Structure 1
Amino acid sequence: MGKKEQPKGELQAFLGKGTQFRGILIFDGVVRMEGKVEGEISSEGHLIVGREAEVKAEVKVVSIQVAGTVIGNITAQEKVEILATGRVQGDIVTPKLAVEEGARFTGHCQMEPEEAGTRVIPMEKGTSES
């Protein structure tokens, strides 16, 4: 198997196993969670939900990688990645979704273009000229 792509940037914070947080979490950069988080998560950065993590939150980030459990809706500007050990229960809005074999996702997914200026041009039906 190939090497997992890591989010760009330096790790800004680590919420380790045994850590519990309840409230609104706002951050920049990269944050890795292994503990329990409940509330709201909002970031212009990247979130890594580790294998031991349990997140019950509305999540709005640039990208998220899920190896643990997320219960709540996820909105990601760039990408949502659910690894084989990952569990997501909630709706996802993102331009890119990657789900490994073995992962569990219960909810709806809406794929939005990355940029507001992106247009989809429909293909025209073939016409024949006589």
Structure 2
Amino acid sequence: MKNKKQLDKLDTVIGVSTTMEGSIQTEGSIRIEGKVIGEINCTGDLTVGIDGVVEANIRARNIIVAGIVTGDVQASGTLHIEEKGKLQGNAQMDSFVIDQGGIFEGQSNMGKASGHSSEKKMEVVAE
């Protein structure tokens, strides 16, 4: 995870042994290594670590998925699904990166953040 658009400043870490239920709202960046159920609104970057499990709708600047996300996501910047990451849900983002081995199941809508829109219906399973 050495992406230049990655976390400017990490404000919150949800550890591997932690489960949270409810709504998370933060103006900073967040890393999830545990489990979150509910809704996440983050004006910074959000990273779901390899051990992270998220069952929530997510809004963030950049979203990096190395673990498992079930829910709709909206990134004003980049959505990046890493090689062990899995996203099941609809996605809206300005740019989209899926590493080999990453899994995306849902519909994507790219370009909303920059004023362009091109809806893509896709299921990607790269192994």
TM-score if structure 1 supplies the norm length? 0.84
| Paired residues of 2:92 and 2:112 also in contact (CA < 8 A) | no
Distance (Å, rounded) in 1 between the aligned partners of 2:7 and 2:35: 24
Which residue of structure 2 aligns with residue 22 of structure 1?
21
AA partner of residue 45 (structure 2): H
Task: Provide the identity percentage.
Answer: 30
Q: Which secondary structure does the structure 2 equivalent of 1:114 belong to? A: helix
Note the 1:39-58 alignment, pairs <5 A: 39-58=38-57
User: RMSD of the alignment, in Å?
Assistant: 1.6
Displacement of 1:113 after TM fit? 4.0
Which residue of structure 1 aligns with residue 3 of structure 2?
5
Note the 1:46-125 alignment, pairs <5 A: 46-116=45-115
Displacement of 1:4 after TM fit? 2.4
The structure where strand makes up a greater share of residues is 2
Distance (Å, rounded) in 1 between the aligned partners of 2:12 and 2:59: 17
Which residue of structure 2 aligns with residue 34 of structure 1?
33
Distance (Å, rounded) in 2 between the aligned partners of 1:81 and 1:8: 13
Based on CA coordinates, which of the two structures has the bigger radius of gyration? 1
Unaligned runs of 5+ in 1: 120-130
TM-score if structure 2 supplies the norm length? 0.85
Unaligned runs of 5+ in 2: 118-127
Displacement of 1:84 after TM fit? 0.1
| Paired residues of 2:35 and 2:52 also in contact (CA < 8 A) | yes
